[in-house]
Amino acid sequence: MEEVLLLLMVGLGGFIGSLMSGGSLITLFILTLFNIPAKTAVGTLKMIIAALTLVSSLTYLKAGILNLKTASTIVLFSLLGSYIGSVFLLSISEEAANFVVMVFLIIGTYFTLKAPQGEPMLSGKLSQSIVGLAIGSYIGVLGIASTLVVISLLRMFFRVDILRANAMAKVIIFFNNFVAFINYAKNGSVDYSVGMLLMLPVIIGSWLGAKTALKMDPKYLKGVFVGISLLTLVNLLRNLVS
């Protein structure tokens, strides 16, 4: 019975992560219950999140929501930014990390509520490359609430609607997590038996989450974004004061 409950929780994590963000926190919590080393838990999480975001990306692509032309440039430079950001990982304190994430989420929540209109603030390959570097650096250094931060940046700079921003965020995070998974796998820090056990419910939950997002009214999807952002902010504030 406990095993079934865990698998249902993992499926819920896939659903939430595909719908918007937060699935990685649920999945990581479940991985810790298997008493595997921390690095192995993170490496296994990277494999699972790569599967989650791949299913989401393909679902959005099939629905015609994902703009691969724009995403490809951002993805390429996000990988470079992720490498650069990871080099400085150890120089960032936990308090500074929490503060930066809070700033990003507050700005992103503001722009989501304001629903920016008009022409994009940035355009062209150069701008996409710079934003891609910024996104990758954030994922490489911090990685907390990555989907929310990526959506925030895409909406701020390119005026992408929230569903298309979510789709683009998923493909960006897929490639970054896949590269990270390969690095962990090369170092033997992936538990494939546990990962494969959790993979099926994650894939099912991810597919259902993407399908739900496609059918949701944008204002409700926006509400999900704001709700998860606020919950993340509360958690970060708790970490700062504790």
**CB of 12 closer than 8 Å to CB of 29:** no
Which of 157, 153, 134 lies closest to 85, judged by CA? 134
pLDDT at 104: 66
CB 22 within 8 A of CB 16: yes
pLDDT of the residue at 213: 83
Quote the pLDDT of residue 117: 55
What pTM, to 2 d.p., does this model score?
0.75
Contact 130, 81 (CB under 8 A): no
Cβ-in-10-Å burial (0-12, 13-18, 19+) of 193 comes to exposed
Cα 84 from chain centroid (whole Å): 19
**pLDDT tens digits for 66-86?**
888 878 889 999 999 888 876
Residue type at position 107: I
Strand locations in 53-211, DSSP E?
none
What's the rounded Cα separation, in Å, for the pair 182 and 174?
12
Question: For residue 20, what is the DSSP state?
Answer: S
Q: How far apart are CA 55 and CA 73, in angstroms?
A: 21
User: Residue written as tokens 């304001």?
Assistant: 114
148-175 pLDDT, tens digit per residue, is 788 888 887 888 888 888 889 889 989 9
Question: What per-residue confidence (pLDDT) applies to 192?
Answer: 92
Phi/psi for 188 (5° steps) reads 70, 25
Say which residue the tokens 């929310």 belong to: 148
Q: Give the per-residue pLDDT at 97.
A: 63
Domain spans of the chain, in order of start: 2-241
Contacts of 121 (CB under 8 A, 6+ apart): 156, 157, 158, 159
Q: Which pLDDT score, from 0 to 100, does residue 77 have?
A: 92
Q: Compute the chain's Rg from CA coordinates.
A: 17
Q: Which residues of the chain have pLDDT under 50?
A: none
